[in-house]
Structure 1
């Protein structure tokens, strides 16, 4: 059987280690990876599914907001991802957004972001680089969804957390499918097919776990 082509977007320049990791995960999950470095130039179907990875913050102008907190932005990548999301929408292709990717998916379809997390949500989070990397938090799955099928029979899942921005208003046509223990959107899904899913954690960094491998396999199966 032909493997579905799964395209992915990281930073246009650099991100070599992340790119190699994601490519390996896609292969191990049954797909054929394709890294996208340039904006789409035609309407032809180039791949079967799209993954948007984590990275620098999205510029607030993309959701009609002014800068509240100084951060590192990547306008070139913002434009690249918007172009490929448009292509995926035109072609009715499944999309998986990871961390920043969830945020871009939400923005593209009309939602917006909190530029700073509620201190109440992060009061117990570590600050040091090692603690930040190893930190895990529980998220609660909400109702029947693609994500709940992947993680069944569990309704609570332990995930990492490498972000400092979050969904504020969920885009029209989407709904939350996971939330944090103290609130906050941790996953969104489109109300209707094709599958468009965003998670606020990094499953590619947890791929040693069977449940995270199931997530990638289930997504690639949906793209086949």
Structure 2
């Protein structure tokens, strides 16, 4: 059902169980910027057309069968979550609902657009560490004249890293807006949408950095515009 208080309704995806902390952090920043946060999971019965924005959160690796590849590593997959979040992403793409993909969410967005992934990164890292950390100890190189650059400003930004897979071949309509020092894709966006972005790092764990909060603030602003247009169309 729509948000009862008139705030833009943001669906925050996740697995059926666990992954509580990142989803709570996303909900916190959504509420801070005036959105109504709703946690949505694979077994929920939902009308996706009621949402004004989505955040597809991080978690298990995307099953390579979704981009017609053989497994190269032995990670954990979550087929139920893959199917659910694919449905969310395709619904957002079709309706042009603002969407932010975080980590696996960015990867799945790329796959839904026909791209593929690198299944392991250790062998591809020459400058950056393969160590997972929530601390912003890695460097994001921002492509100029992109939405990401307008939000974060500057040419570089500190980011964290909690992933062992990454975007390889870009999906249709997407462009790279950020890479790390090894050239590994860290951010994608579609300039033809008001807000369609995927980031490989976890900005929800960096909310103490004002630049990172700008990503969520803009998502909510775009969701509010989307809500206004949708409500006007119903009158």
TM-score, normalised via structure 2 length = 0.87
Q: Please, which runs of 5 or more residues in structure 2 have no aligned partner?
A: 225-235
What's the counterpart of residue 119 of structure 1?
123
Change (3 A) 1:122 1:52: farther
Can you list the C-alpha shifts for 1:26-72, whole angstroms capped at 9, x where unaligned?
Answer: 10122110111246867662110111000010111011111111111
> CA 1:99–1:43 in 2, change beyond 3 Å: closer, same or farther?
same
Aligned match of 1:10: 14
Shift of 1:219: 1.3
Given that 1:179 and 1:185 are in contact with CA atoms closer than 8 Å, whether structure 2 keeps it comes out as yes
**Partner of residue 84, structure 2:** 80
- How far has the Cα of 1:17 moved from its partner? 2.6
Q: Would you say 1:161 and 2:165 are equivalent positions?
A: no
Inter-partner Cα distance in structure 2 for 1:126 and 1:197:
24
| RMSD of equivalent CA atoms | 2.0
Paired residues in the alignment total 220
Do the aligned partners of 1:43 and 1:87 also contact (CA within 8 Å) in 2? no
When residues 213 and 133 of structure 1 are mapped into structure 2, their CA distance, relative to the original with a 3 A threshold, is closer
The 3-state SS of whatever aligns with 1:69 is coil
- The Cα offsets for residues 101-154 of structure 1, whole Å up to 9 and x where unpaired, read as 000000001100000115342665264x7xx343611111112111111112x1
Contact 2:128–2:182 (CA under 8 A) maintained in structure 1: no
2:48 and 2:202 mapped to 1: Cα distance? 30
Distance in 2 (alpha carbons) for counterparts of 1:70 and 1:44? 33
CA distance in 1, matches of 2:130, 2:93: 38
- Secondary structure, aligned partner of 1:157: strand
1:60: which partner in 2? 64
* CA distance 1:179–1:17, shift in 2 (3 Å): closer
1:200 aligned onto 2:204: no
1:9–1:37: 8 Å Cα contact kept in structure 2?
Answer: yes
C-alpha distance in 2 between matches for 1:109 and 1:158: 28
